[in-house]
Amino acid sequence: MRIGMMLNYSGGFEETVAEVSQLEAAGLDIIFVPEAYSFDAVSQLGYLAAKTSTIGIASGIFQIYTRTPSLVAMTAAGLDYVSGGRFTLGLGASGPQVIEGFHGVKYDAPLGRTREIVDICRQVWRREKVQYDGKYYQVPLPADKGTGLGKPLKLINHPVRDKIPIVIAAIGPKNVALTAEIAEGWQPIFFHPEKAHTVWGESLDAGGAKRDASLPPLDVYASPSVAIGADADQYLPWIKPHLALYIGGMGAKGKNFYNDLAVRYGYEEEAEKIQDLYLGGKKDEAAAAVPDELVRSVSLIGTEDYVKERLVAFEKAGATTLNITPLAADTAGRVDQVEKLKALLP
């Protein structure tokens, strides 16, 4: 398994990037830059590309509604160029709270839009004249929808690669099936090894049956928090506010994908309680309501022997890359956690 890491998007990016060379030396393989509603990810990825030399860089994620398909492709090709072929394009639908609440764009048809964006990106990278007549995107725009002056164009520059890896963040059954069909990688949030097959196995099999033979085996990016050591249990409470935010606060009742996932994991009562508390403004109480069992299941927190056992479980469940959050107070602590994890990998 490879080791990846998601950088903090809420501030201190320059300071965080200063750690990357040390993390890379400790065994980190790829760095993801999120894009929520902080600074954009592209400028930060360009900065990261300039400050590194060998580690992979990835968007985690570009939201499918906030750029045209051709701009997604151009941006990915540009980041692949400035990084010397080290870029991975992470895509995802995000959710209505961000897309409609921050961008003012209608959140609709995530499956259809994702498929069409991927198709158009691959046309652009092959330097074909982009011609696409989809349900959601038409390139060039038909005369009856525009001026009639648009003509098919191809990318002026020659990309470093005509096949930039695409990783799709997905947790819903249909989204996961689509990802298994068309993408190089899949990024599920809160990956629970013992429940992964039950929750996603059917979708992965259905998508895999349609997968183009030219695509490599699906790279599965699990995202555990990591704390390895005799006193690691002290970090369990660190995870709970993050889980509570997603399970409780990322959408209204009936429209929270992460709450749905917790229910599918078997935490129906707990998920409802967390959401009620969080939406009621009781964030601390919502965090306290997150079960220790759930935290342990989606994380790598414990002694070396315990984490080694959990790594076997992640591997058996299909995880190929661990996109970790090292739980430590400073750079030295985070580097230490990466080194310890690297030494324990199967």
| pLDDT confidence of residue 10 | 61
Supply φ then ψ for residue 57, to 5 degrees. Answer: -125, 145
Q: pLDDT band for position 96 (50/70/90)?
A: confident
Note the pLDDT tens digit of each residue in 200-230. 999 999 999 999 999 999 999 999 999 999 9
Note the pLDDT tens digit of each residue in 14-66. 777 888 888 988 989 999 999 888 889 999 999 999 989 899 999 999 999 99
Specify the DSSP element, H or E, that contains 169.
Answer: strand 166-169
Residue closest to 55 by CA, chosen among 99, 24, 15, 97: 24
Supply the pTM of this predicted model. Answer: 0.92
Superfamily per CATH, domain 2-230+299-344: Luciferase-like domain (3.20.20.30)
| pLDDT confidence of residue 16 | 78
Residues ≥6 apart with Cβ < 8 Å to 54: 24, 86
Q: What is the rounded CA–CA span in Å between residue 317 and residue 25?
A: 28
Q: pLDDT band for position 346 (50/70/90)?
A: confident
Q: pLDDT band for position 9 (50/70/90)?
A: low
Q: What is the rounded CA–CA span in Å between residue 153 and residue 168?
A: 27
Q: What is the rounded CA–CA span in Å between residue 130 and residue 121?
A: 9
**DSSP, residue by residue, 76-124:** HHHHHHHTTS-EEEEEE---HHHHTTTS------HHHHHHHHHHHHHHH
Residue-range domain boundaries for the chain: 2-230+299-344, 231-298
pLDDT at 141 over 80: yes
Residues ≥6 apart with Cβ < 8 Å to 135: 109, 112, 116
Note the Cα 341 to chain centre separation in Å.
20
| pLDDT confidence of residue 11 | 62
Of 8-17, 36-45, 249-258, 321-330, minimum mean pLDDT range: 8-17
Residue closest to 274 by CA, chosen among 300, 246, 254, 255: 246
Specify the DSSP element, H or E, that contains 323.
Answer: strand 321-326
